[in-house]
Amino acid sequence: MRQAHVERTTKETKISVTVNLDGSGQYAVSTGIGFLDHMLEQLSRHSLMDLTVEAKGDIHIDFHHTTEDVAICIGEAVAKALGERKGISRFGSATIPMDETLTEVAIDLSNRPYLIWKVAFTKPKLGEMDTELFKEWFQAFSQAAGATLHVWNKYGENNHHIVESCYKGLARALRQAVEIDGRKADAVPSTKGVLGGSL
């Protein structure tokens, strides 16, 4: 089992995250931000990654620090669980329809973080959460996980559907990328023999 635990304590947040990449999509998530909890549950369920998140943050100020730090911790836990990244499929992609919405997500667990975010919202908030914070979450996750991540909402009207399709797309793409390739289970999937660094 590829599992990892990460803790992060600052003056703004206190966070504990555990992931199991070879799980069954079981989750226990508590961030104090209802909509973020809902998205992280989707991430776990559709990636089949077991995920436990316990976060306490300065949400009396706003949700920024908690949102970003939770993403950092989940990304760090994924990277830690991957270890040397030997045998992984490395690449994954998904196209997710949700009613009127269609979103495409592609990931490369290259150990070279990069985010392309082509997602626009027509409302400033979903529930009590600022919609601008979703880009911050994906940016922090990609940075901490060492993932090149492209998220493209091709069209959609309902803001809830748009962001949920982004998380479900990440989940399905991540599920593909972390899978062990039985034909090369003992090798890092790179001609360099190591993931990260220059192209």
Tokens found for residue 43: 């991430």
Q: Do 21 and 2 meet the contact criterion of CB atoms below 8 Å apart?
A: yes
| Confidence check: pLDDT of 69 > 50 | yes
d(CA 87, CA 185): 4
Bridge partners, 16 (sequence order): 7, 54
pLDDT digits (tens, 9 = 90+) for 25-65: 999 999 999 999 999 999 999 999 999 999 999 999 999 99
Residue pointed to by tokens 């939770």: 70
Count of helices and strands (H, E) across the chain: 4, 10
183 inside domain: no
149 inside domain: yes
Other CB atoms within a 10 A radius of the CB of residue 144 amount to: 21
pLDDT band for 192, please (50, 70, 90 cuts).
Answer: low
Q: Compute the average pLDDT of residues 186-196.
A: 62
How confident is the model at residue 197, as a pLDDT?
A: 57
pLDDT band for 14, please (50, 70, 90 cuts).
Answer: very high
What is the DSSP secondary structure assignment for residue 44, as one 8-state letter? H
Backbone angles phi, psi at 11, to 5 degrees: -70, -15
d(CA 14, CA 11): 8
192 inside domain: no
d(CA 20, CA 68): 21
191 inside domain: no
Full strand arrangement of the beta sheet holding 91-98: 91-98, 101-108, 148-155, 114-118
How many CA atoms lie less than 13 Å away from 35 in the CB half-sphere?
Answer: 17
pLDDT digits (tens, 9 = 90+) for 82-130: 999 989 999 999 999 999 999 999 999 999 999 999 999 999 999 899 9
Element (H, E) at 77: helix 64-82
91 inside domain: yes
How confident is the model at residue 193, as a pLDDT?
A: 60
Number of domains in the chain: 1
Range of the domain at 8: 3-178
How confident is the model at residue 186, as a pLDDT?
A: 74
58 inside domain: yes
pLDDT digits (tens, 9 = 90+) for 147-187: 999 999 999 999 999 999 999 999 999 999 999 988 776 76
How confident is the model at residue 199, as a pLDDT?
A: 46
151 inside domain: yes
> Could you tell me the CATH number of the domain that includes residue 153?
3.30.230.40
186 inside domain: no
